[in-house]
């Protein structure tokens, strides 16, 4: 309990709006003194999630909410960290009210088999039925399999594993074709070569690959147990060692793995829950979105386009074209500003929830300035670097780490805006030639 920071009784405003884990505690029974953690949860926005327990208690919350006299929290840098920390703290404290409404069948564990060519999978039943009713909420080894958990949310765990699989490719099946499988092509599978290492005493390359694979799985397990820094440090040591031996290709591979892992841990969006999703930055993108694009050749016949998507579908009746009035200045940012200023002169065009623009931080900042204080989220797509800047977030998110549906929508919006701007631009040029 020492790691939690506590707020003074129900002063919710003292809670951070960041992702993390929170605990609700009540005084221990008479004579014992001190406090007991009775519930642990994770959140994308700690403040709003905790407030929600008290202000709109579910029937489950009503079982214990009046017993709560202390609220603690731990901030995390990302959703994945919150997910992992939650599992580890539930395991440590075994809070009564986490247990009450979740029996062992409802929790999720990551299983890693401990055989010659291990596989990784998610399971509800860590120790199998043959061994009798398992002790609830424990992580343990059985002879053949290592189990890590308990995780509360299956979908979030699945997404987390899917992301981590990019840094640490693994097998999910005991069989592998002789040639590359679908997962191989996605860089998520260690490949057919290593599978030959299922032989009892593999030699040469296969033996090395098997060793490397087991080493990676150990790291994956450590990450899921909240020991990210230990893994990063160990990777850094391995990289240094390879460099020392002038094995630069191997050192480079580890450098990429470190980078990949850091990106995954910091930016992946994995937690889903209706309330929290609304507060996450791209969660409600499916309502009304406007996307802008500027098209010009050296500033001549510059045009701007605005395309509109409602609930994920384009609505051509709401599209607008702008003939840029700024004269012959090939200045994309000034043109974007002009288009947006003109758009905001039309409050009768219903405002969107989200505006997507093409560009980086500079474009993002201009748009934020122009929309003034309107409650519209601005995001900008930096295609060169494959990153998404989001208003209010310091660092961009790599596009490939977005949830698939949002990733698809953003690319669709962007290409539609571009298509629409080019069409209009060509029309203006043609008209000019005819004159
Ligand atoms: Zn494969």
| pLDDT, tens digit (0-9, with 9 covering 90-100), for 7-23 | 977 889 999 998 999 99
In the reported structure, the alpha carbon of residue 171 is separated from the centroid of ligand 1 by a whole-number distance in angstroms of: 7
Q: At residue 240, does pLDDT exceed 90?
A: yes
DSSP SS3 for 220: helix
The model's confidence at residue 222, banded by pLDDT at 50, 70 and 90, is very high
Q: For residue 59, how far is its CA from the centre of ligand 1 (angstroms)?
A: 46
Q: What is the mean pLDDT of residues 137-162?
A: 75
* Domain residue limits, the chain: 5-75, 104-224, 281-434
132 pLDDT higher than 70: no
Look at residue 186 in the predicted model and tell me its pLDDT. 85
| Predicted local distance difference test score (pLDDT) of residue 136 | 41
C-alpha 83 to ligand 1 mean position (Å): 28
Whole-number Å distance, alpha carbon 190 to ligand 1 midpoint, is: 6
Q: Which residue has the higher pLDDT, 63 or 162?
A: 162
Domains 5-75 and 281-434 share a fold: no
Closest CA to 167 of 416, 401, 395: 401
DSSP-derived secondary structure letter, 132: -
Cα(361)–Cα(394) distance, rounded to whole angstroms?
10
- In CATH, what number does 5-75 get? 3.40.1440.10
Alpha carbon of 168 to ligand 1 centroid (Å): 13
Cβ–Cβ < 8 Å for 417, 306: yes
Confidence band of 143 (pLDDT split at 50, 70, 90): low
Q: Taking 70 as the threshold, does the pLDDT of residue 294 lie above it? A: yes
Average pLDDT over all residues of the chain:
82
For residue 45, is pLDDT > 70? yes
CA of 124 to the centre of ligand 1 (A): 25
Q: Are 338 and 324 in contact (CB under 8 A)?
A: yes
Q: Is the pLDDT of residue 154 over 90?
A: no
pLDDT digits (tens, 9 = 90+) for 64-92: 888 898 999 999 988 899 999 999 998 88
Q: Does 214 score more than 80 pLDDT?
A: yes
Instruction: For the domain covering 281-434, report its CATH number.
Output: 3.30.420.340
What's the whole-number mean pLDDT along residues 380-403? Answer: 82
Which single residue is written with the structure tokens 């758009």?
343
């Amino acid at each position: 309990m020492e790691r939690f920071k506590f707020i003074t009784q129900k002063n919710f405003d003292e809670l951070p709006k960041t992702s993390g884990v929170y605990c609700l505690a009540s005084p221990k029974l008479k004579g014992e003194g001190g406090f007991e953690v009775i519930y642990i949860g994770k959140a994308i926005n700690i403040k709003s999630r905790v407030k929600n327990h008290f202000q709109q208690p579910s029937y489950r919350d009503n079982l214990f909410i009046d017993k709560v006299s202390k609220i603690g929290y731990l901030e995390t840098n990302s959703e994945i960290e919150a997910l992992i920390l939650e599992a580890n703290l539930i395991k440590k404290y075994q809070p009564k009210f986490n247990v009450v409404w979740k029996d062992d069948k409802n929790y999720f564990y990551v299983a890693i088999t401990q055989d010659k060519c291990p596989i990784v999978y998610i399971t509800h039943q860590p120790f199998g039925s043959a061994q009798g009713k398992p002790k609830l909420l424990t992580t343990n080894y059985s002879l053949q399999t290592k189990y890590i958990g308990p995780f509360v949310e299956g979908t979030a765990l699945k997404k987390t594993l899917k992301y981590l699989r990019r840094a640490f490719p693994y097998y999910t099946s005991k069989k592998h074709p002789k040639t590359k499988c679908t997962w191989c092509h996605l860089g998520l599978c260690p490949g057919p070569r290593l599978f030959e290492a299922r032989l009892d005493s593999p030699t040469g390359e296969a033996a090395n690959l098997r060793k490397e694979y087991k080493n990676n799985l150990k790291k994956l397990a450590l990450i899921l147990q909240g020991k990210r820094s230990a893994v990063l440090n160990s990777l850094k040591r391995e990289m240094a060692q390879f460099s020392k031996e002038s094995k630069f290709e191997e050192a480079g591979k580890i450098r990429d793995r470190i980078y990949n892992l850091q990106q995954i841990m910091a930016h992946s969006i994995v937690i889903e829950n209706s309330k929290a999703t609304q507060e996450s930055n791209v969660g409600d993108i499916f309502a009304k979105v406007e996307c802008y694009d500027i098209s010009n050749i050296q500033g001549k016949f510059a045009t701007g386009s605005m395309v509109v998507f409602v609930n994920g579908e384009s609505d051509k009746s709401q599209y607008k074209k702008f003939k840029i009035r700024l004269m012959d200045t090939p200045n994309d940012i000034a043109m974007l500003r002009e288009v947006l200023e003109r758009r905001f002169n039309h409050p009768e065009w219903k405002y969107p929830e989200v505006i997507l623009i093409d560009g980086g931080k500079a474009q993002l900042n201009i748009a934020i300035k122009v929309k003034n204080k309107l409650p519209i989220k601005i995001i900008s797509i930096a295609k060169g670097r494959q990153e998404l800047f989001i208003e209010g977030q310091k660092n961009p998110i790599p596009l490939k780490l977005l949830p698939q549906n949002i990733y698809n929508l953003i690319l669709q919006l962007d290409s539609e805006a571009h298509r629409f701007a080019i069409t209009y631009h060509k029309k203006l040029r043609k008209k000019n030639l005819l004159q």
